[in-house]
Amino acid sequence: MNNNYRNFKQIVNTFYNEEIEELDQDEEVVLKNKGTIKVEPKVTYDKFSGDMKVEFKIGNKKMYKIKDLSEFYTRMLEKEFYKYGEKLQFIHTREMFEEESKPLLDFILRYAEIIKYANSNSNSNYRYYGKALSETSILLGNSGIDELFDVLKGKKIAFQKDYHTDEIELTEEQPQIEFKLKKINEEQYVIMPNIEIFNVTILKGKSYKYVLANQKMHRCTKEFEKTNLKLLELFRQNYMTEVLLGKKQLTDLFSVIIPKVKEAIIFENMTQEEIEPYKPKELLVKVFLDFDKNDFLTAEVKFVYEENEFNPLNEKIKLDFPRNKIEETKALNIFRKTGFMLDSRNLRFILPDNDKIYEFLTEDVNYYMQKFDVLATEKFKTKQIRHPKIGSLGIKVENNLLAIDLKNIEIDSKELEEIMAKYELKKKYHRLKDGSFINLEENKEIDFLNKLVTGMDIDYKELESGEVRLPVNRSLYLNQLLKGIKGTEIIKNTEFKKMVNELNKEQLEEEIKVPENLEKVLRYYQKTGFKWLRILDSYHFGGILADDMGLR
């Protein structure tokens, strides 16, 4: 054979041999394994390092450990036929695995791909015998713990801890962590958890915390994490198995701790009558809104427990009744989040920023009314958000001038220039001299006035008289503007109505006649242009028609 064709022959033989190998594979074994292969995880937790890793076995009748996750990933990627032992040989496709194992298979492949390419590109900081990552197991980070739980929740898995392996269930059921409040004597009490505090393991995922106890791995809700689990962690951090407290501390217990963990506290040797004096009554918050001499928004706050009412900003007062300090703190934080500052001299909150005041009046005040008992002074009520209207507009044509009556606009004409400047800058609001606000967003009336003033080149000083006189040729522009405002009474005199109607294209045919010497010469659209110019001329309007209309 010609040596020039040797390479081609080699390629042919390779493809042929692979085809023969596939035919030689035991088809009966392949078909028998289809949809039956399962995946079993085993989690190992090292309490000293805090590391948690997971390794896997696959099979049906007999399980085989995946010794190299990178190789397993490659087999799945290339749909390779591989024999693990006498009891397991199959083509590596997703269809070969049972439905229940497919989510875990996807988990393995996602991390095995990372392991493969991390190891192939690593050249330093070797950790696992010359590899960047172990190829026998997946080291679970915070996100990995959450992901594995999502895949396996409701199932039981092998879990190795302290060199001992148990079968544990992954569950969203909350762990039974409770605390006992026990009366020792008339002056002393004790709080203790219902479990040995170091007999449970707390694992931290990215989005959740987990408690490992009694052959179960519990995913904790955010509420449980902030309450029961938080209290348990405090016991663990301080190596406490119990906490002693006296009768004087019961008020703080019921006002700070109990509201957070009330579902987890069990009372022992204590009657309801004994507990009641230490439980705070329902908190009512009164807010008194006003504006001071600088037009700053002020808020005086009163906390009310039945007949007891006090200013929480007054640190000098002494109170001897139970208070719900958690709810009090939440209430005061609402003021701070809204932007209020502390006015310590007057023992109140103050809001000096115009943007914050406007935001409060448009949005926050509704939330305050839902949360608190809100009272307002008459001064506060007069400084709300205004939506000024144009009560009516008078328009007339007399002495060849267009007169516009603007006396019924609910805006001081002396402030109109500043309002329009804010509107041009697309500001949300303008604060008037009386302290009230005008909403400038989607305001049809303000838009009309802006176009009227800027479009007709009106001096703002002219507006102070309440009437503006303009050349009559501005009538068409004005009439177009009037179409944009609704709810305003527009009073037009006869002359103005007549002029606008005559300028209506539909009436051109009847009102204006084309000279006889042009009647047969001009085309239809040229006759229309002629009539239009005549109408404009009769009202002393200027007019321009484009050259491409063929009218010259």
**Residue 280: half-sphere exposure toward Cβ, Cα within 13 Å:** 25
Q: Residue 540 is encoded by which pair of tokens?
A: 């002393």
Q: pLDDT tens-digit profile of 223-259?
A: 999 999 999 999 999 999 999 999 888 988 888 888 8
Is 2 within a domain? no
Alpha-helical segments (H) within 364-439:
365-371, 378-381, 416-424
122 and 240 share one domain: no
Q: What is the pLDDT of residue 170?
A: 97
**CA–CA separation, 350 vs 25, rounded Å?**
83
At which of 261, 278, 295 does a domain end? 278
Report pTM: 0.62
**CA–CA separation, 122 vs 136, rounded Å?**
17
Is 4 within a domain? no
Helix, coil or strand: residue 259: helix
22 and 156 share one domain: yes
273 and 289 share one domain: no
27 and 116 share one domain: yes
Is 8 within a domain? no
Is 50 within a domain? yes
Q: pLDDT tens-digit profile of 431-454?
A: 888 888 988 888 888 888 888 888
> Which one-letter DSSP state was computed for residue 88?
E
**CA–CA separation, 78 vs 249, rounded Å?**
69
At which of 498, 518, 539 does a domain end? 498
pLDDT category at 540 given cuts 50, 70, 90 is low
142 and 182 share one domain: no
Number of domains the chain is built from = 5
Helix, coil or strand: residue 536: helix
Q: How many CB atoms lie within 10 A of CB 57?
A: 15
> Which one-letter DSSP state was computed for residue 92?
-
526 and 465 share one domain: no
At which of 278, 312, 329 does a domain end? 278
525 and 483 share one domain: no
121 and 25 share one domain: yes
155 and 181 share one domain: no
Is 377 within a domain? no
pLDDT at residue 331 is higher than 80 = yes
Helix axes 102-121, 69-78, angle to 10 degrees: 110
Q: pLDDT tens-digit profile of 94-122?
A: 999 999 999 999 999 999 999 998 888 75
What are the residues whose beta carbons fall under 8 Å from the beta carbon of 361, sequence distance 6 or more?
384, 385, 437
pLDDT category at 124 given cuts 50, 70, 90 is very low
Mean pLDDT of 153-173: 95
Q: pLDDT tens-digit profile of 173-200?
A: 999 999 999 999 888 999 999 999 999 9
Q: Interior CA angle at 89 toward 83 and 91, to 5°?
A: 100
Poorest-pLDDT segment among 13-17, 66-70, 471-475: 13-17
Is 314 within a domain? yes
Contact predicate 39/101, CB 8 Å:
yes
Is 1 within a domain? no
Is 380 within a domain? no
Quote the mean pLDDT of the chain: 85
- What range does the domain containing 142 cover? 16-161
212 and 192 share one domain: yes
**CA–CA separation, 257 vs 433, rounded Å?**
50
Helix axes 444-455, 475-482, angle to 10 degrees: 170
**CA–CA separation, 115 vs 144, rounded Å?**
14
Q: Residue 213 is encoded by which pair of tokens?
A: 């106890």
425 and 544 share one domain: no
Helix, coil or strand: residue 453: helix
Residues pairing with 439 in the sheet: 429
336 and 390 share one domain: no
